[in-house]
Structure 1
Amino acid sequence: MDTATQKSNKPKILITGANGLLGQKLVEQLVVEGKFEVIATGKGPCRLNSVGFVYQDLDITDPNQVENVISQLAPDTIIHGAAMTNVDQCELNQEDCVLVNVKATEYLVRAAEKVKSHFIFVSTDFIFSGENGPYDEEAEAAPVNFYGETKLTGENLVKSSNTSWAIARTVLVYGIANDLSRSNIILWVKSSLEAGKEIQVVDDQVRTPTLAEDLAAGCILIAEQKAAGVFNISGSDVLTPYEMAMMTADYFGLNKDLIKRTDSTKFTQPAKRPMKTGFIIDKARKLLGFEPKTFRTGIGILSKQIILARS
């Protein structure tokens, strides 16, 4: 049997936002596992390093393009990871945020309904108020910023769709990807302390930080099992940013005296942040077999990736 025939026997999975952090991890893991024919989509040229997938240029804010690409490729599963996620930018550019987080989701859902794709929507802890986290899947949503509002609207579009669907909610994703300059708390703490800079880190917010590889693995478990419903896919360690900073300094043997404890009232940002979120992940553990890395293990993984990226 030739490889082309073998390839077409596999179910097709299409990833939106494939050039982003989650997208790159999804494509890498899916290609390694080899259970799906992988279609990576993104706006503009492909920025992925791996091989073994098809790349398709796709502007998800263009309804005609979405309709054409999805109807032609007819993927069995779509993982919709593309989003406008910069919370302050969303607050300041609300029209753009609606276009990317709401309208594009609507176009993709409509296209998915026509070809009966299993639709997996990546959502966020920012749909919650942050008054009483960590949250389980049944908790009531009450966003405190515009980004959270648009992601909640996206969730509701998915829930009311006529195709099989799942929602993978996550929290504070960190990691390193090819060709992405985006920082994260570990990289920021490491580079600041190495430069001898004093940093102010809040201790009145709570999150369950999520390694990008773990989020990708959770989404793939949902895809493989065609699981339906809402799943919390995050790390399991409930930590404040201050605790994350101290653990990072500890891991790299850096000067913890440079880390100054502060609180959210000292910072002014365009978008309000929910104070205490984080997720209870019992459902994903039990139903999907999801098991995330500890935050300390995550720091170790990033540390190796930093070295590899420099070599």
Structure 2
Amino acid sequence: MSVIHKVLITGSNGFLGQKLVDLLSMHADYKVFAISMHENDNPTIGNYDFQQMDLLDTEKLNDYLDQVKPDYIIHTAAITSVEACEADKEKCQRMNVDLVEQLASYCKREQAFLIQLSTDFIFDGQNGLYKEDDLAHPLSEYGKSKWRSEQVIQKSECAYAILRTILVYGINANPNRSNLVLWAKEKLTKQESIKVVNDQWRMPTFVDDLANACLLALEKRVTSVFHISGEEMLTIAEAVYQVADFWKLDKTLISEITAAEIGQSENRPRKTGFDLSKAKSILGYQPTSFKESLKIIETQYGIFRK
């Protein structure tokens, strides 16, 4: 008889969080616990326990952790908006760093395993493709906070996997959760003009791939940092043109602009992209191509947007 492991997913209402709840709750080896700031809006209400909680309430969170005693924590909750982090640096610190320190402390004490999501924004975009041990030089408070969170975890001496990722896209059940692909598709479908940046390069990450990478990190339980993304280097504009081509939408509605024109040249890296060889060799990670992911999203539209 196999051992049932308890897995706690923070930010379970989020884009990745919902994918993880759906993915892990299907596995008989895991008992899933999900927490979020707001009421549960995931229509998958089956084999998992949900708790609404203010994650910044240190005492309540500690009590919850002591009660549940998770063997694994997948920490997806964070303030990810560059502008929101700049506007409220104190809250950014509490959410993106102090909370991580609390979870790492629990994992060290209870010998649990922490999976932390991080970002390509810890780099300055001058020397991509980036390997895991390349020098961090974040340009924004958001990037700085995620880099500090990585350092906090490593100093805690807990068992961990840090998964850095890039420009996550896809679809889940929450119609209010948007991303580059959904935004472009929905705007162009409505015949609305859009402006897209043509001088920032990324390797967009399919959210289903990222959820699978979290599962692989959980199963392998290797303490390290891993780069998780797609394999295709695209400008934001190139990605949007591919979205338009796939759904046969009017590309004349797309206007190209520079990052400087919308004030995003100084606080966002120009070109990131990851070397994925470590994640492939150690975790067995295999990314889905951008075009193939659009086919999957089209199928999922029929499920999530009925």
- Kept in 2, the 8 Å contact 1:87–1:271? The answer is no
Counterpart in 2 of 1:86?
Answer: 81
Does residue 128 of the first structure (1) align with residue 158 of the second (2)? no
Q: Tell me the CA shift for residue 29 of structure 1.
A: 0.8
Given that 1:88 and 1:269 are in contact with CA atoms closer than 8 Å, whether structure 2 keeps it comes out as: no
Taking only the aligned residue pairs, the percentage that are identical comes to 38
8 Å contact 2:115–2:218 — kept in the other structure? yes
- Cα offsets for 1:191-230 (capped at 9, x unmatched): 2222323322112111111111111100110001112100
- Alignment-derived partner of residue 14 in structure 2: 20
SS of equivalent residue, structure 1 residue 138: coil
Q: Among residues 39, 46, 69, which one is paired with 1:45 in the alignment?
A: 39
Tell me the distance in 1 between the aligned counterparts of 2:83 and 2:276.
Answer: 27
TM-score by length of 2: 0.95
Cα deviation 1:73-124 (Å, max 9, x = unaligned): 2111111111011111111121211111011111111122221111111101
Whether 1:173 aligns to 2:143 is: no
Deviates more, 1:87-96 or 1:54-63: 54-63
Pairwise CA distance, 1:276: 0.5
The CA distance in 2 between the partners of 1:287 and 1:109, in whole Å, is 23
Q: Shift of the alpha carbon at 1:21?
A: 0.8
Runs (4+) of structure 1 exceeding 4 A deviation are none
What is the distance in 2 between the residues matched to 1:109 and 1:144? Answer: 25
Q: What's the CA shift for 1:271?
A: 7.2
Tell me, in whole angstroms, the C-alpha distance in 2 between the residues paired with 1:132 and 1:283.
18
Q: Which amino acid aligns with 1:104?
A: L
Deviation at 1:61, TM superposition (A): 1.1
Deviation at 1:180, TM superposition (A): 4.7
Name the stretch that deviates more: 149-158 or 94-103.
94-103
Matched AA of 1:264: A
Residue 158 of structure 1 corresponds to 153
Structure 1 pair 297–270 and aligned structure 2 pair: CA distance change class (3 A): same
> How far apart are residue 128 of structure 1 and its match?
0.6
C-alpha deviation, 1:151, in angstroms: 0.4
Residue type of the alignment partner of 1:122: L
Matched, 1:104 2:99: yes
Contact 2:171 2:182 in 1 (8 A): no
Residue 225 of structure 1: aligned partner: 220
Root-mean-square deviation (CA, aligned residues, Å) is 1.7
> Does the aligned pair in 2 maintain the 1:21–1:180 contact within 8 Å?
no
**TM-score of the superposed pair, with normalisation by structure 1:** 0.93
- Counterparts of 2:130 and 2:209, CA distance in 1: 19
SS for the counterpart of 1:217 is helix
Query: Aligned equivalents of 1:162 and 1:194: distance in 2?
Result: 50
How many residue pairs match? The answer is: 305
* CA distance in 1: counterparts of 2:40 and 2:137, whole angstroms: 36
Q: Secondary structure at the match of 1:160?
A: helix
Q: CA deviation at 1:261?
A: 2.3
- 1:3 corresponds in structure 2 to none
2:220 maps to 1:243: no
Determine helix, strand or coil for the equivalent of 1:33: coil
Which residues of structure 1 form unaligned runs of 5+?
1-5
1:36 counterpart = 2:25: no
- Cα deviation code 1:232-277 (max 9, x no counterpart): 1111111111110110011001122222222112112597111101
